């Protein structure tokens, strides 16, 4: 129990230490002045890639749409019962 608490505390300290430094701290020169950072990227400002899904075997018309139905299903595994997402898709 003590080992588990100690390792959790160490992990929390490492996590806090990695995120405690602001991005602007990495963009300062030796004198402490703020300089332009070319190596810092803002991931939230980047555009997400556009994905085109094409069927493999059937060739639907040019205006065909892909419809999907999803649900949660119970699966019985050796480690215990789990709920997993399931999905079925088709072209119409």
Locate the domains of the chain by residue range: 2-91
Helices (H), the chain: 2-20
Chain segment 24-77, per-residue pLDDT in tens? 455 777 777 877 776 666 666 677 788 877 767 777 778 888 899 999 999 999
Specify the pTM. 0.37
Rounded to whole angstroms, the Cα distance separating 39 from 49 reads 22
Angle at 65 between CA 54 and CA 61, to 5 degrees: 70
């Amino acid at each position: 129990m003590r080992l588990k608490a100690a390792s959790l505390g160490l992990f929390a300290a490492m996590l806090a230490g990695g995120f405690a430094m602001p991005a602007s701290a990495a963009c300062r020169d030796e004198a402490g002045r703020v300089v332009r950072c070319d190596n810092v990227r803002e991931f939230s400002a980047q555009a997400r890639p556009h994905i085109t899904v094409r069927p493999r075997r059937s060739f639907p018309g040019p205006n065909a749409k892909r419809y999907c139905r999803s649900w949660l299903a119970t699966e019985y595994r050796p480690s215990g019962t789990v709920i997993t997402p399931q999905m079925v898709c088709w072209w119409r």
